[in-house]
Chain A
Amino acid sequence: MNEIVISARNLNKHYHVGGGLGRSGQVVRAVDGVSLDIYERETFALVGESGCGKTTLGRIMLRLQEPTSGEVVYRGQDLTTLNDNKMRGLRKNLQIVFQDPYASLNPRMRIEQILAEPLRTHGYGTTAEIRERCATLLEMVGLRRQYLRSYPHQFSGGQRQRIGIARALANNPDFAVCDEAVPALDVSIQAQVLNLLRDLQDQLNLTYFFITHDLSVVRQFADRVGVMFLGRLVEVGTTEEIFAAPLHPYTMFLISAVPRADPHQRERERPILTGEIPSPMDMPSGCRFHTRCPFAQKICRVEDPALQYCGTRAVACHFPLES
């Protein structure tokens, strides 16, 4: 494998909710003891359902949010201990592409201003050089340079997402978090943007941390996959391994729940998860999944299984499925 770009070490993010006026309130563990390594030039997909903490984890990796405890190590440096100034300097290498192409561009700035800002922040060069770089960036994501003077509202969702990508790549980063970067787009546009992301990865040696709930995209786009459930990383593996033989029952249900675009498969045996996701404020004891898991046994109710690595794979389950 390649060199590690960034790793999370025992990251926790706990929120206090309720409380006040003498009441103690409750603790929500949005991210709970997550550790993982991401290697150079790979696409690591983090999947999970809403509220599982995947977005929070992505923000913490870029230190857009502060963890409650734990370390984020980027090329040997612990980001969580850096002061604001040093962190700002590093931000040119660590980037993010946002989910909502409508909310992620300032409606009152022209495309040129949007693209120039990160360049100016990190002292890219003279005004003329910055202008030229903006034009290059725009062409790199497949838009014409004439649009530099336009405003975001003049573009479609797919085009805005391209502009968001151009902004993220302005300073040649080597690590980019893509937070639900394509699900908001139409299918035909989605494929265009994914192709673009992959081309750029090849050209610029990018590493992607790809946060999504869409497993079909993961299957086609990712090298490795991590599955999150209620703040915990429950399974890690290469894309082929995960889809061919999921070890965690939750992963299995997640994959089987994806509708297949083939009417002949509609009669297939398809296990459907029943019940509701437990409230993060009222976490079940033991394994968090045991309330919905058909394979749960006594120990699952008592002991929280740890994520255990075995080669490229890791699973947090007392009774992993047979592969």
Chain B
Amino acid sequence: MSVSPAMTTETPDVIEEPSLLRDTARAFARNRMALVGLCFVLILVCVAVFAPLVSPHDPYRVALDEQLLPASTTYWLGTDNFGRDVLTRILYGARISLVVGIVPSLISLLIGTFMGVLSGYIGGKVDFVIMRLADMMIAFPSLLLAMVVMYTLGANLFNIFIALALVGWAGVARVVRSQTLALKEKEFIEAARANGTSRATIMFRHIFPNVVPTLIVLFSLSIPDAIMWESSLSFLGVGVQPPEASWGLLISRGKEYLFQAPLVAIAPGVAILLTVLAFNFVGDGLRDALDPSMKD
């Protein structure tokens, strides 16, 4: 085919074959804070999984003669009001808190994204119905909603997931919808329409990948939220039941002894803080790494 000879001399800077995974990994590795966050999260996951192996004590052993001890070489972070080792309980608490942080966030993200893209792209009646549903969820006092779910279904971990997902999806759907509306006006979406691409394909292949960075940020932000929610529910007696340990529960119980043994409440608080920070760093790193224009 004859084109002006000039054109073949045009050379973009990159000739090597890029691979999405490798590029993303490389870009991610360049971000030091994200790496630190990732290490912390990985360690945390290991600790949670292998809690029985790494814990110095039995989390349920009550020793009334060792109540509220300060930190010592035996009890690194002291003991609580039942004489249980605080460190051990935090390690065990990581199991529940991590699962409660991650699973409901994933569920609400999944539902919210689906609803949001659908609502934003299809528009019309679908949009109206989904958004009014979301409005109801948001307008309803969410703590009350979660409590009703917990009361009627019973207080166990699985029902906490349901309660939190029910509360969480509406916010995600709103954000995703507004992003979808903005994307819908982009010329590359119009180009896809002009090519006869089906609506499902446009939503899945064009809109969704462009929403992912937002989703990652939302995810990293909703984990701490979920951990806090779980602790509120536990505090009200409809969440995790003692003697199980979750960080939220530890704080709410420990705060009664804040003056005698501050570590009992502060230590799990610090654990939440560090976890939340770590997830945020990872989220930021991932968002940047997933942006194709940041990879050069």
CB–CB under 8 A between A and B in the complex?
yes
- Given A108-B210, A121-B195, A150-B18, residue A159 in contact with residue B188 (CB < 8 A): no
- Given A142-B4, A151-B18, A195-B4, residue A64 in contact with residue B210 (CB < 8 A): no
- Report B-chain residues with C-beta under 8 Å of the C-beta of A103: 186-188
Q: Is the CB of B7 within 8 A of A96?
A: no
Q: Is the CB of B12 within 8 A of A106?
A: no
Q: Is the CB of B1 within 8 A of A150?
A: no
Within 8 A of B (CB), among A159-200: 159, 162, 164, 167-168, 170-171, 192, 195-196, 199
Query: Is A312 part of the binding interface, using a Cβ–Cβ cutoff of 8 Å?
Result: no
Chain A residues at the B interface, C-beta cutoff of 8 Å: 62, 64, 87-92, 94-96, 98-100, 103-109, 113, 117-118, 121-122, 139-144, 146-147, 149-151, 153-156, 158-159, 162, 164, 167-168, 170-171, 192, 195-196, 199, 203
Query: Is B21 part of the binding interface, using a Cβ–Cβ cutoff of 8 Å?
Result: no
- Given A149-B17, A155-B12, residue A117 in contact with residue B197 (CB < 8 A): yes
Please measure, in the bound complex, the distance between the C-alpha atom of A113 and the C-alpha atom of B187, giving whole angstroms.
Answer: 16
Q: Is the CB of B196 within 8 A of A153?
A: no
Q: Is the CB of B191 within 8 A of A192?
A: no
Please measure, in the bound complex, the distance between the C-alpha atom of A107 and the C-alpha atom of B295, giving whole angstroms.
Answer: 12
Please report the total number of B residues contacting A with Cβ < 8 Å: 34
> Smallest distance from the beta carbon of A89 to chain B beta carbons, Å?
7
Within 8 A of A (CB), among B27-61: none
Q: Ordered nearest first, which 8 A-B pairs have the shortest CB separation?
A: A142-B7, A91-B196, A118-B195, A104-B187, A88-B196, A153-B293, A142-B3, A108-B209
Please measure, in the bound complex, the distance between the C-alpha atom of A68 and the C-alpha atom of B296, giving whole angstroms.
Answer: 47
11 contacts between A and B (CB under 8 A): A88-B198, A91-B196, A96-B190, A103-B188, A106-B209, A108-B209, A117-B195, A151-B292, A156-B12, A167-B195, A196-B3
Please measure, in the bound complex, the distance between the C-alpha atom of A90 and the C-alpha atom of B195, giving whole angstroms.
Answer: 9
Query: Is B139 part of the binding interface, using a Cβ–Cβ cutoff of 8 Å?
Result: no
Please measure, in the bound complex, the distance between the C-alpha atom of A193 and the C-alpha atom of B15, giving whole angstroms.
Answer: 23
Please measure, in the bound complex, the distance between the C-alpha atom of A204 and the C-alpha atom of B271, giving whole angstroms.
Answer: 66
- Report B-chain residues with C-beta under 8 Å of the C-beta of A155: 12
Please measure, in the bound complex, the distance between the C-alpha atom of A92 and the C-alpha atom of B206, giving whole angstroms.
Answer: 19
Which residue of chain A is the closest to B292 with respect to CB atoms?
Answer: A151
Q: Is the CB of A106 within 8 A of B188?
A: yes
Query: Is B144 part of the binding interface, using a Cβ–Cβ cutoff of 8 Å?
Result: no
Q: Is the CB of B4 within 8 A of A192?
A: yes
Please measure, in the bound complex, the distance between the C-alpha atom of A167 and the C-alpha atom of B191, giving whole angstroms.
Answer: 9
Q: Mark B122-164, 1 if CB is under 8 A from A, else 0.
A: 0000000000000000000000000000000000000000000
> Smallest distance from the beta carbon of A107 to chain B beta carbons, Å?
6
Q: Is the CB of B196 within 8 A of A99?
A: no
Q: Is the CB of A118 within 8 A of B187?
A: no
Please measure, in the bound complex, the distance between the C-alpha atom of A149 and the C-alpha atom of B188, giving whole angstroms.
Answer: 18
> Smallest distance from the beta carbon of B95 to chain A beta carbons, Å?
36
- Report A-chain residues with C-beta under 8 Å of the C-beta of B188: 103-106
Which residue of chain A is the closest to B19 with respect to CB atoms?
Answer: A149
- Given A149-B18, A196-B3, A199-B2, residue A121 in contact with residue B194 (CB < 8 A): no
Please measure, in the bound complex, the distance between the C-alpha atom of A81 and the C-alpha atom of B193, giving whole angstroms.
Answer: 18
- Report A-chain residues with C-beta under 8 Å of the C-beta of B7: 141-143, 162, 192, 196
- Report A-chain residues with C-beta under 8 Å of the C-beta of B210: 106-108
Q: Is the CB of B18 within 8 A of A121?
A: no
Q: Is the CB of B198 within 8 A of A150?
A: no
- Given A106-B210, A139-B1, residue A100 in contact with residue B187 (CB < 8 A): yes
Query: Is B74 part of the binding interface, using a Cβ–Cβ cutoff of 8 Å?
Result: no
Which residue of chain B is the closest to A119 with respect to CB atoms?
Answer: B195
Please measure, in the bound complex, the distance between the C-alpha atom of A150 and the C-alpha atom of B23, giving whole angstroms.
Answer: 12
Q: Mark B3-21, 1 if CB is under 8 A from A, else 0.
A: 1101110101111011000
